[in-house]
């Protein structure tokens, strides 16, 4: 058993590090690590406010990880009843939009069934090696109902923007083709979401980069085009530029807010880039050297 003196020394050292401006680069989930600032303790190793750039990202990692309740893969189907339904009561197909009309009961795990929808990992499973025993596998914030045909076409290709005249497939809403990411001298195949959902998926990717900054990602088709394989900045510079553009051109919608609430009710954590769109700039954008405070956001207060 660890002594009280051990805990006291650990807390004292942490308070010195925090007060001296030291930056922690890892996302720590250990309730023993209590930060003491001005004589008061908090449950997170890094508080959210007053951070920016990589330290702000890690602070959010701590917060999101701490409350996350891991769900089963079958729970995802049930979650779609509240986080994946259109206003007309039909499934809100992420890659099909208004081009498909599925009932909730039309769910199917088999992607070969073209008259059904699947559970789509918008951040592909192969990018973390496909393990089903990690939280990211069932994380509702990046799992969407998706037409089986579009799911098969997307595979594990990177999100991107298809060059003019280079389209190889479309369902009238999303498309596949040669993209603008270049690895060496090779142009890659990318999947381009509809403009109506580009911001949604950009904020989804910002969430993944934050919540799973300690997840080990592997070399895979698509991943090599988008990932830096580092905690920060996580994405390649040209990807950050594209995702920020998508984020700003397609602002947070009421549908996203409702989905965030539904996911929080089930999984007990939120996508902070929906609650605080300004976070993107403070972590990756023009304000990445500017401290983040809730009072400076549109919400103005911390959303629990």
User: Confidence class of residue 2 from pLDDT cuts 50, 70 and 90?
Assistant: very low
What's the confidence (pLDDT) of residue 184?
A: 63
Radius of gyration of the chain measured on its C-alpha atoms: 20
Average pLDDT over residues 222-232: 96
What's the confidence (pLDDT) of residue 4?
A: 44
What's the confidence (pLDDT) of residue 45?
A: 62
Q: What are phi and psi of 169, to 5 degrees?
A: -160, 145
Query: What rounded mean pLDDT belongs to the chain?
Result: 87
Ramachandran region of residue 182, left (φ > 0), alpha (ψ -120 to 50) or beta? beta
Asked if pLDDT for residue 19 goes beyond 60, the answer is no
| Domain map (residue ranges) of the chain | 4-66+289-296, 70-268
User: Confidence class of residue 145 from pLDDT cuts 50, 70 and 90?
Assistant: very high
In angstroms, what CA-CA distances link 207 with 13, 72, 76, 140?
Answer: 31, 20, 18, 11
Q: What percent of the chain has pLDDT over 90?
A: 79
Helix (H, G, I), strand (E, B) or coil at 159: strand
Asked if pLDDT for residue 237 goes beyond 50, the answer is yes
What's the confidence (pLDDT) of residue 185?
A: 62
- What element of type H or E holds 29? none
- CA angle at residue 304 from 32 to 82, to 5 degrees? 115
Q: Contacts from 236-241 at CB under 8 Å and sequence distance 24+?
A: 238/181, 239/181, 240/284
- What element of type H or E holds 16? helix 4-19
Asked if pLDDT for residue 33 goes beyond 60, the answer is no
What's the confidence (pLDDT) of residue 46?
A: 81
At 185-224, the pLDDT tens digits run 678 999 999 999 999 999 999 999 999 999 999 999 999 9
Residues sharing a CB contact under 8 Å with residue 183, sequence separation 6 or more, in sequence order: 224, 225
pTM: 0.87
Average pLDDT over residues 221-238: 96
What's the confidence (pLDDT) of residue 180?
A: 78
Q: What are phi and psi of 277, to 5 degrees?
A: -55, -25
Average pLDDT over residues 174-181: 91
In angstroms, what CA-CA distances link 111 with 59, 115, 149, 260?
Answer: 38, 10, 7, 27
Q: How many CB atoms lie within 10 A of CB 66?
A: 17
Pairing relationship of beta strands 186-192 and 175-183 according to DSSP bridges: antiparallel
Q: What are phi and psi of 183, to 5 degrees?
A: -105, 110
Tokens of 106: 């039309």
Pairing relationship of beta strands 162-170 and 158-159 according to DSSP bridges: unpaired
Of residues 6 and 217, which shows the higher confidence score?
A: 217
In angstroms, what CA-CA distances link 123 with 29, 30, 73?
Answer: 23, 27, 15
Contact yes or no for 36/67 (Cβ under 8 A):
no
CB neighbour burial string for 126-141, b if at least 16 within 10 angstroms, e if fewer: bbbeeeeeebbbbbbb
Lowest mean pLDDT among 13-27, 118-132, 154-168: 13-27
Residues sharing a CB contact under 8 Å with residue 46, sequence separation 6 or more, in sequence order: 18, 24, 35, 55, 58, 59, 62
């Amino acid at each position: 058993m660890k002594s009280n003196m051990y805990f006291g020394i650990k807390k004292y050292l942490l308070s010195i590090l925090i007060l001296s401006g030291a930056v922690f680069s890892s996302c720590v989930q250990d309730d023993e690590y209590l930060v003491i600032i001005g004589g008061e303790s908090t449950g997170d190793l890094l508080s959210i406010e007053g951070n920016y750039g990589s330290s702000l990202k890690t602070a959010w990692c701590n917060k999101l990880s701490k409350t996350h309740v891991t769900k089963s893969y079958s729970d995802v189907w049930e979650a779609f009843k509240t986080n994946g339904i259109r206003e007309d009561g039909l499934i809100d197909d992420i890659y099909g939009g208004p081009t498909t009309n599925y009932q909730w009961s039309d769910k199917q795990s088999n992607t070969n069934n073209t008259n059904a929808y699947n559970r789509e990992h918008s951040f592909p499973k192969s990018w973390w090696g496909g393990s089903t025993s990690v939280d990211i596998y069932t994380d509702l914030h990046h799992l969407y109902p998706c037409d089986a045909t579009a799911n098969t076409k997307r595979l594990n290709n990177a999100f991107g923007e298809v060059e003019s005249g280079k389209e190889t497939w479309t369902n009238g809403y999303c498309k596949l083709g040669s993209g603008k990411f270049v690895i060496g001298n090779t142009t890659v195949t990318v999947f381009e979401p509809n403009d109506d959902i580009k911001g949604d998926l950009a904020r989804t990717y910002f969430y993944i980069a934050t919540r799973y900054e300690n997840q080990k990602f592997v070399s895979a088709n698509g991943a090599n085009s988008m990932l830096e394989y580092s905690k920060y900045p996580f994405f390649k510079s040209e990807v950050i530029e594209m995702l920020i553009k998508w984020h700003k051109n397609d602002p947070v919608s009421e549908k996203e807010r409702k989905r965030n609430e539904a996911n929080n009710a089930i999984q007990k954590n939120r996508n902070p880039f929906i609650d605080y769109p300004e976070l993107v700039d403070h972590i990756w954008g023009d304000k990445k050297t500017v401290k983040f405070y809730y009072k400076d956001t549109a919400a103005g207060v911390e959303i629990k």
